[in-house]
Amino acid sequence: MTDSKPLLLTAGEPAGIGPELCLSLASRDDLPQFVVVSDAELLRARAHSLGVDVTISEVGRDAIGDRNAMRNELLVASFPFPVEVPAGAPDTANAQVLLEGLGYAVEACRAGRCRGLVTGPVHKGVINDAGLSFTGHTEFLAQASGTPLPVMLLVADDLRVALATTHLPLKDVPAAITGDRLRVVIDIMLTDLRKRFGIPAPDIVVCGLNPHAGEGGHLGDEDAAVIAPIVEEFAAVGENVRGPLPADTAFTAASGTKDAVLAMYHDQGLPVLKYAGFGESVNVTLGLPIVRTSVDHGTALDIAGKGEADPGSLIAALRMADELAR
């Protein structure tokens, strides 16, 4: 591990696989320096139940960069949960502390005490059942950092897929696809592909909303009336933005080489991305004042505590956060 400022890694839902994924990283020496944000006692208990040889060392929340972890050691900025939970059995009583830890991580990043944030999986249902409004990490981080419109980007090798809308019911998507929104989303994509990913002239393919990108208005008019004019705006100033293309074409070789695809809604873009790289892909939030990456999977309550969870996506998320923060 390096001796630079650390990344922060939130372990996520305490009853899920996040804690054991964090534990699995302690024996590695090929990862950037990181500090886990979770309950230190929970991590000790999960390590004991799984037979993982790891030392859990608590560090002060304002002293997260004071020292590096040794091999088989996790440094933890501890946020004790009020209710002890077994793996696979979440409790809504822990939701508030979970969000407090996430808020702390955002503040620490903005204050420059760490280099970026990597988030483990949380359970949206458990948080909302606790009476706390929560639609996802992306939206929470945007609000906590004062970001008007974040952009979700998932990365699997050379495939990058951004979303124009995120966690919306499908029936609400058409109304959310406005010219103003698309203009901001594409501008953020161009900016961060240049700044974070080092791509000097990003090439972006924009998906249509409707089948066949509207089929000349026969299958909906949003593609021609809303999406196409925004694409033309960017093309007119020399940006490599193309579309709207039918989604079943945009992801294929027929659309040519591209640096990113902009999908109009969650389940238009993410099935393709996850089919291409599930377990190794990374969720990146563009448009934030901090670096944030995340795993590509959920809490997996059904296998939590069994030692079966694959850390591949978490490892990829740590490495990508390290690269983006340079």
Residue identified by tokens 């969720």 is 283
Element (H, E) at 229: helix 228-236
Question: CA nearest 177: which of 225, 142, 137?
Answer: 225
Tens digits of residue pLDDT in 38-79: 999 999 999 999 999 999 999 999 999 888 899 899 999 999
Average pLDDT, the chain: 95
d(CA 168, CA 125): 15
The predicted structure's pLDDT at residue 179: 98
d(CA 212, CA 1): 49
Confidence band for 1, pLDDT divided at 50, 70 and 90: very low
d(CA 151, CA 313): 20
Long-range contacts of 216-225 (CB under 8 A, 24+ apart): 220/174, 222/174, 222/177
Tens digits of residue pLDDT in 111-170: 999 999 999 999 999 999 999 999 999 899 999 999 999 999 999 989 999 999 998 999
- Domains in the chain, CATH or no CATH each: 1-147+288-326 (3.40.718.10), 150-285 (3.40.718.10)
Question: Crossing angle for the helix pair 228-236 and 179-195, nearest 10 degrees?
Answer: 40
Residue identified by tokens 């705006």 is 233
Tens digits of residue pLDDT in 17-39: 999 999 999 999 999 999 999 99
